[in-house]
Amino acid sequence: MEGKTKRKKITIINILQIATLAALLLYMQIAVKTGAVSKVFLAAPTDIVREGIEIIADGTLIPHFLISVEEILVGYGLATAVGIGLGILWTIFPKTEEYANVFCAAVMAIPKVAILPLLILWFGIGFLSKVVLIFLFAVFTILYNTVTGAKQCKESYLKVAKVFEATNIETVFTVILPSALPSVFNGLRLAAATAFTGVVFSEMQSAKAGIGFLLSEAQSLLNSSRVFFLIILITVMSVVFVKAISLVEYAICHKWRRV
């Protein structure tokens, strides 16, 4: 996966997979074009592509796209900073975990989509409520993965730190955190996927901008080609985002870990 140049052989299975996909697309194309299936329910691949080109060309997509990206970057960035920061704090001062864990666990247990109405009341239907929702979607995954990773630090590494008289804080930064990195990155990846759920959902519920807004607008106009195009776009964005995080991990860890 990550940067490894493994030459893959194309097998019978690969051929079958491609054939299945092609058959599916072909079915969509024929079914819609011949009128066997209504345009409301399905979209022909050629229409999806045409629709995509059109909303990019006429300038509809870009501002919405940028707003969604911005919401994600800010919300996710905050979640990363707070999640890892709090994780470090809990690791250095276990009493803080003892105190705060119950609250964090409680907030984490709330289905985030259920508090969207409240967030809208508090922060409006604009940028801020989206950022807060994405933050809530992502922060606990990052926090608990950081803390779990820190707790799984090998006993022998901790002994080494002790023997070399590292202070608590030195131990956390030189030993516990580096050893927790794989777990932290797992959390970041999981949180990235949920951040997308958060942004699309909240934009679909109540917004004046964003990809989720476009999506619900297209749905109400029964423009299924656009719905399909937007779904594909969101999926690609999510995959690219997760991949980007893996690349960061690779850049940091590939030298010493065979990722």
Summarize as ranges the residues that interact with another protein (CB under 8 A).
Answer: 154, 156-157, 159-160, 162-166, 170, 174-175, 178-179, 181, 253, 255-258
User: Rounded to an integer, what is the distance from CA 25 to the centroid of its chain?
Assistant: 27
Q: Output b/e per residue, 133-150; b: 16+ Cβ within 10 A.
A: bbbbbbbbbbbbbbbebb
Q: Provide the token pair at 253.
A: 């860890």
In the complex, the smallest distance separating the C-beta of residue 93 from another protein, rounded to whole angstroms, is 20
In the complex, the smallest distance separating the C-beta of residue 1 from another protein, rounded to whole angstroms, is 19
> Is 20 or 167 the residue whose CB approaches another protein more closely?
167
> Is 98 or 170 the residue whose CB approaches another protein more closely?
170
- 69 Cβ contact list (under 8 Å, min separation 6): 237
> Is 2 or 170 the residue whose CB approaches another protein more closely?
170
> Is 126 or 178 the residue whose CB approaches another protein more closely?
178
CA atoms within 13 A on the CB side of 207: 29
In the complex, the smallest distance separating the C-beta of residue 39 from another protein, rounded to whole angstroms, is 56
In the complex, the smallest distance separating the C-beta of residue 164 from another protein, rounded to whole angstroms, is 4
